[in-house]
């Protein structure tokens, strides 16, 4: 039992996002004390799960290898995917929903999102709405590939760990990359008829985790503004650690940062905080205003 709990502490101490601010001697003592009455590993699971609260993040999760006896838990339901909004023809609209799945399912997702962008794209568009409301997370890389034509080719953001090590995210020619390594790609990929469009990003309290990664990727992008409500508050990266008994730790190991290296370890506030009914009309109005201002300054010959 003690050996197992020490294994947990070693992993946390070596990899946790907040590992430099935690008193690990006290942490270990508290964990051992909480698990003192456990006679089996599964009886120690609640102590492990409870100890994770002391890590200071809301994203770390523990999954025991064997279920703890207790009331039957109903199967988890998948979160809903919201319906698209009706949008005027001079503005493009793309919803980026949550996504999980195998390689084939993720490929279908990326192809579908880029096809939706292609179907709406035309030179006369004033700009795009990227709707992240209800995106509770999953796999961030297919999301970045899907929205890539609107987002544009660039360094989009970073992971920053407890040692201030930075790992960059990029989008390039249908590929999402992590420090140059391809994490997701689609081929053929789409390129907008008019590059660097005006973009309104919509968020709400259900925009979380990988959904927040997409929101961070739009931070500091030119001609971009966000509308709606603050996000769920877990813009952090998790790594999987398999324990000796088959249990799994999904441990928060890094915080998201935007292309300016501004970290977001908390809820992302929108540029304009609005009631739900106000979000889309205000985004449409701003896109039209920003499009006019952008083209007045640049001139038609520099678009």
pLDDT digits (tens, 9 = 90+) for 20-55: 999 999 999 999 999 999 999 999 999 999 999 989
- The span from the CA of 169 to the CA of 155, in Å, is 6
Q: Are 104 and 209 part of one and the same domain?
A: yes
Confidence of residue 71 (pLDDT cuts 50, 70, 90): very low
**Can you tell me the mean pLDDT for 236-251?**
95
**Can you tell me the mean pLDDT for 258-286?**
97
Question: How high is the pLDDT of residue 77?
Answer: 61
Q: Are 119 and 52 part of one and the same domain?
A: no
Q: b/e map of 9-40 (b: 16 or more CB within 10 Å)?
A: bebbeebbbebeeeeeeebbeebbebbeebee
Would 235 be classed as within a structural domain? Answer: yes
Q: Are 151 and 282 part of one and the same domain?
A: yes
Q: Are 38 and 162 part of one and the same domain?
A: no
Q: Are 280 and 171 part of one and the same domain?
A: yes
**Can you tell me the mean pLDDT for 173-177?**
98
Tokens of residue 55, six digits: 């890590």
**Range with lowest mean pLDDT among 4-8, 46-50, 56-60, 255-259:** 56-60
Q: Are 124 and 52 part of one and the same domain?
A: no
Q: Which domain holds residue 29?
A: 2-56
| pLDDT greater at residue 78 or residue 185 | 185
Q: What is the mean pLDDT of the chain?
A: 93
Q: How many helices (H) and strands (E) does the chain have?
A: 7, 13
Q: Are 99 and 190 part of one and the same domain?
A: yes
Would 50 be classed as within a structural domain? Answer: yes
Whole-prediction pTM: 0.90
Would 86 be classed as within a structural domain? Answer: no
Would 158 be classed as within a structural domain? Answer: yes
Q: Are 169 and 20 part of one and the same domain?
A: no
Question: How high is the pLDDT of residue 73?
Answer: 44
**Which residues neighbour 33 within 8 Å (Cβ) at sequence distance 6 or greater?**
none
Confidence of residue 81 (pLDDT cuts 50, 70, 90): confident
Would 62 be classed as within a structural domain? Answer: no
Sheet holding 127-131, edge to edge: 91-95, 127-131, 199-203, 224-228, 272-273
Question: How high is the pLDDT of residue 70?
Answer: 47
Question: For residue 218, how many C-alpha atoms fall within 13 Å in the half-sphere facing its CB?
Answer: 35
Q: What CATH code is carried by the domain that includes residue 201?
A: 3.90.226.10
Cα 190 to its chain centre, rounded Å, is: 23
Question: How high is the pLDDT of residue 76?
Answer: 55
Residue 29 belongs to what H/E stretch? helix 24-34
Tokens of residue 293, six digits: 């201002």
**Can you tell me the mean pLDDT for 286-298?**
88
Evaluate the omega torsion of the peptide bond into residue 188 and state whether it is cis, within 30 degrees of 0: yes
Question: How high is the pLDDT of residue 115?
Answer: 98
Would 11 be classed as within a structural domain? Answer: yes
Q: Are 37 and 183 part of one and the same domain?
A: no
Q: Are 262 and 185 part of one and the same domain?
A: yes
Summarised one tens digit per residue, pLDDT across range 92-126 is: 999 999 999 999 999 999 999 999 999 999 999 99
Q: Are 16 and 152 part of one and the same domain?
A: no
Q: Are 231 and 158 part of one and the same domain?
A: yes
Tokens of residue 163, six digits: 């040692």
Question: How high is the pLDDT of residue 69?
Answer: 52
Number of structural domains (the chain) is 2
CA dist 195 → 121, 270, 280, 302, 303 (Å): 11, 24, 23, 11, 8
Question: How high is the pLDDT of residue 56?
Answer: 84
Would 80 be classed as within a structural domain? Answer: no
**Is pLDDT of 302 > 60?**
no
Strands (E), 148-246: 154-160, 166-172, 175-178, 181-185, 199-203, 224-228, 236-242
**Which residues neighbour 286 within 8 Å (Cβ) at sequence distance 6 or greater?**
200, 225, 227, 272
**Can you tell me the mean pLDDT for 238-252?**
95
- The span from the CA of 217 to the CA of 213, in Å, is 6
Q: What percent of the chain has pLDDT over 70?
A: 94
- Measured over the CA atoms of residue 202, residue 235, residue 237 and residue 100, the dihedral's sign is negative
Would 154 be classed as within a structural domain? Answer: yes
């Amino acid at each position: 039992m003690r050996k197992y709990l020490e294994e947990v502490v070693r992993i946390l101490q070596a990899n946790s996002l907040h590992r430099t601010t935690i008193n690990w001697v006290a942490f270990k003592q508290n964990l051992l004390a909480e698990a003192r009455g456990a006679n089996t590993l599964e009886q120690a699971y609640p102590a492990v799960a409870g100890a994770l609260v002391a890590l200071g993040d809301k994203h770390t999760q523990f999954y025991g290898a064997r279920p703890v006896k207790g009331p039957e838990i109903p199967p988890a339901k998948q979160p809903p995917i919201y319906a698209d909004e009706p949008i005027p023809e001079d503005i493009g609209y793309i919803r980026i929903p949550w996504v999980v799945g195998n390689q084939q399912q993720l490929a279908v997702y990326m192809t579908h999102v880029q096809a939706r962008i292609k179907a709406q794209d035309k030179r006369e568009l004033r700009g795009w709405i990227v709707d992240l409301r209800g995106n509770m997370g999953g796999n961030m890389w297919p999301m970045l590939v899907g929205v890539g034509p609107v987002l544009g080719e660039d360094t989009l953001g970073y992971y920053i760990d407890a040692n201030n090590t930075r790992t960059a995210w990029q989008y390039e020619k249908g590929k999402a990359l992590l420090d140059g390594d391809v994490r997701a790609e689609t081929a053929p990929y789409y390129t907008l008829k008019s590059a660097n469009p005006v973009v309104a990003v919509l968020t709400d309290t259900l925009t979380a985790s990988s959904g927040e990664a997409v929101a961070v990727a739009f931070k500091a992008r030119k001609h971009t503004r966000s509308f709606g409500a603050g996000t769920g508050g877990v813009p952090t990266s998790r790594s999987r650690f398999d324990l000796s008994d088959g249990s799994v730790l999904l441990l928060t190991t890094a915080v998201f940062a935007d292309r300016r290296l501004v970290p977001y370890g908390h809820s992302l506030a929108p540029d304009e905080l609005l009631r739900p009914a106000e979000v889309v009309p205000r985004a449409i109005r701003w896109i039209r205003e920003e499009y006019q201002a952008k083209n007045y300054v640049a001139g038609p010959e520099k678009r």
